[in-house]
Structures are given as C-alpha cells and as structure tokens.
Amino acid sequence: MKPTKAYLNPDFMDSPDARALRILAEYLEPQSRLEAEGVEDTIVFFGSARLPPGSKYYEAARELAFRLTTWSKELGPEHLRRFVVCTGGGPGIMEAANRGASEAHGRNVGLTISLPREEGVNPHVTRELAFHFHYFFMRKFWLAYMAKALIVFPGGYGTLDELFEMLTLKQTKRLTKPMPIVLFGSDYWNEVINFDALVRHGTIDAADVELVHRTDSVDEACNWLIGRLIEKALDQPGGKL
C-alpha cells in the first residue's frame, strides 16, 4: 500500500501542526476565487443577525444595497464588478443586504463563519462568491481588505467588534485607502456608543468622532457614500489595506 501524501492526510491536515496551512488556505482560496470572478472591491454591510424581514433596519439595508448595486452596475464596463455588496453571509441585516443586491440583479459576496449554532449562508449570496471560514481573523481580513466603504446597522457583540476594528485601523492610519463609514440608526448608536463621553474622558480626540457619518435616511446614506466613492475610490485599484 502506498503511503498517503501529506496534503491528502486528513489526520495531519486537521492537526495543530497543519494550522499554518489551514490559515494560508483561507487566504489563498478566496483570493483565487475573487480574482477569477473579477471582484475588485466591495461595500461591506455589518449588522445584527437577529433582525427579521419586515423590520425597519432590515428593509433599510435591503433598499440601500439595492440602490448601491444599481449605481455600481451603471458605472460602465471599465468599472465592471466594482463596489460589490459584501456581508457576513448570515441572516438578519446580512441577508437583507445580499437580498437587496440580488434584487438589483447584482453579484454579491457572503463570508460566513463556523459557529456552534450553525446558520449557514443566506440564499441571496451569489453562489460563486459564498465563502466559509474557520478563523475569525481571516474572515475579518477579507471583510477589510476588499472594502471601499462600510455601512453598519444596529448589532450586537459581533457587529461592535467588526466596527471597532475598522475604526481602529482608520484612527491609527493603518488603512491606506479612504474608508467612508456610515452608522445607520442614530437612536441606537447614540445610546449604545457614547462617543462624546470618550472625548470628554480624553480617550479619543474630538476629530475621531468624525470618522463615522450617522444617519437614519437611506437617501442620505446612499448619496453620501456614492459621493465619496466617486471622489476617493473610483479611480483607485481594488483591495489594499
């Protein structure tokens, strides 16, 4: 009997010794597939998985994704598949954004993660652009690396974690690309995050509050983001942290 090749040996590939290979796979396989599908960059939606269809934030995310996808598709062949809607691929706000993009007949990305309560990818993600991750940090890398804009709807621990990671990258200037960030739902965000208190206690600068744009209007969010993407990102290459 021939010995098993190392990369075909499940006992080895699932072992701690092969962790570096698994991490590398979660970098190289998405990179290969995104390049093959021609996706240059994304508009990322964050938000709660618990908000159901019909709720005001679900429907706002759905409409906003629809409008942004429609705008992206009208940019012309030289910008084909720019600013593709991307989410964590699950239910709630993620489903709403993927659904809105799909209803605009646009391709969209879903980056799901293995969780104890497996939710799976929502049915509106483009099949060729559905990814599933084991490592949170590799999933967060792809959410950040491809993004040219971020829209954050009300959410829990996961949403807050993702938002503050992006804010940290902006504040510390580790992002070398413009990254407009919209916080959608003023009542929620004003109650959950007291940015003014952070300034008052001296833990952030007053200018750091301006790293986000807060609104309750789909029209305002859409127009504000499109204006900044045209000004700052349209002529820039995809990717690049």
Which of 162, 134, 142, 176 is CA-nearest to residue 33?
Answer: 142
List C-alpha distances in Å: 57 to 79, 122, 203.
29, 17, 30
CATH number for the domain running over 6-232: 3.40.50.450
Q: Can you give the pLDDT at residue 239? A: 65
Concatenating the DSSP letter of every residue in 78-125 gives: GGTT-SEEEE-SSSTHHHHHHHHHHHTT--EEEEEE--SS-----TTS
Angle between helices 56-73 and 93-103 (to 10 degrees): 40
Query: 223: Cβ–Cβ under 8 A, 6 or more apart, which residues?
Result: none
Q: What's the one-letter identity of residue 39?
A: V
With H, G, I as helix, E, B as strand and everything else as coil, classify residue 189.
helix
Q: Can you give the pLDDT at residue 240? A: 63
Residues of the chain falling short of pLDDT 50: none
Angle made by CA atoms 104, 142, 103, in degrees to the nearest 5? 10
Query: 177: Cβ–Cβ under 8 A, 6 or more apart, which residues?
Result: 148, 233, 236, 240, 241
What does the alpha-carbon distance between residue 68 and residue 73 come to, in Å, rounded to a whole number? 9
What does the alpha-carbon distance between residue 147 and residue 161 come to, in Å, rounded to a whole number? 16
Residue position matching structure tokens 């934030």:
57
Per domain, the residue ranges of the chain are 6-232
Q: Can you give the pLDDT at residue 241? A: 63
Q: With residue 58 as reference, give the H or E element that holds it.
A: helix 56-73
**26-45 pLDDT per residue, tens:** 999 999 999 999 998 999 99
